[in-house]
Chains A and B, each alone.
Chain A
């Protein structure tokens, strides 16, 4: 599978602040998916990006796929306590299976 680096590993923000997590690969990706895992829960699909430079929005969440298709980011505007959880990127390349990033654990302080 693809080797990816996801940063930061942990992020603590005050409620209302913005948050960004990054996923970086040394090789070109076919597409990339993002998942959210709430504490004690299982990963839940958020979105898939396929095109170079693609930007998709889901309410306060903005997902970007780099022009070179080697990196991606997830940005949350004005975080809420419901955003707490771990966010994983899962890029897909030539391998048959997805490789999940190590995740960014987001804590939102009220």
Chain B
């Protein structure tokens, strides 16, 4: 594809419900990142996938958060039992790999937990 795509673009959910966010990286990019950005704040690293290596999950804020990636393609970020503090924009980025150039960001998914 032309760039990183994410879906949905907006998601409103009730507290306690589970949500699944999707990221389609640029074809051929082996690295995929998830970030969280609260309103007016910086980028908070969540998880990093690199090829077939074990993902770096060091940024996941709690066990309610999990992510999967199928090979070097689509990734899904799942948030279980959503809380109001989960409200944020969730950004996905892909690159050729750590230290190998720029990260290309998707437009993000704006999650609102009511």
Chain A positions near chain B (C-beta within 8 angstroms) = 1, 30-31, 33, 35, 42-45, 48, 88, 90, 92, 96-103
Contact = CB atoms under 8 A, between A and B. Distances in A.
A68 to B, nearest CB: 19
B105 A97 contact: no
Given A96-B50, A97-B56, A97-B98, A43 B45 contact: no
Interface of B: 33, 35, 41-43, 45, 48, 50, 56, 59, 91, 93, 98-99, 101-108
Contact of A45 (B33, B43, B50, B102): B102
B103 A45 contact: yes
**Chain B interface mostly:** loop
A92 B45 contact: no
A31 B104 CA distance: 17
B106 A42 contact: yes
Contacts of B33: 97-98
A103 B42 contact: yes
B42 A101 contact: yes
16 contacts: A42-B105, A43-B91, A45-B102, A45-B103, A45-B104, A48-B102, A88-B42, A88-B43, A96-B48, A97-B48, A97-B56, A97-B98, A98-B98, A98-B103, A101-B42, A103-B42
Contacts of A42: 91, 105-108
Given A31-B99, A103-B43, 16 more contacts: A1-B45, A33-B103, A35-B103, A42-B107, A43-B103, A43-B105, A45-B102, A45-B104, A88-B42, A92-B99, A96-B98, A97-B48, A98-B103, A100-B35, A100-B45, A102-B42
A10 B30 CA distance: 35
A88 B103 CA distance: 13
Nearest to A45: B102
Nearest to A50: B99
A1 to B, nearest CB: 7
B99 A44 contact: no
Contacts of A100: 35, 42-43, 45
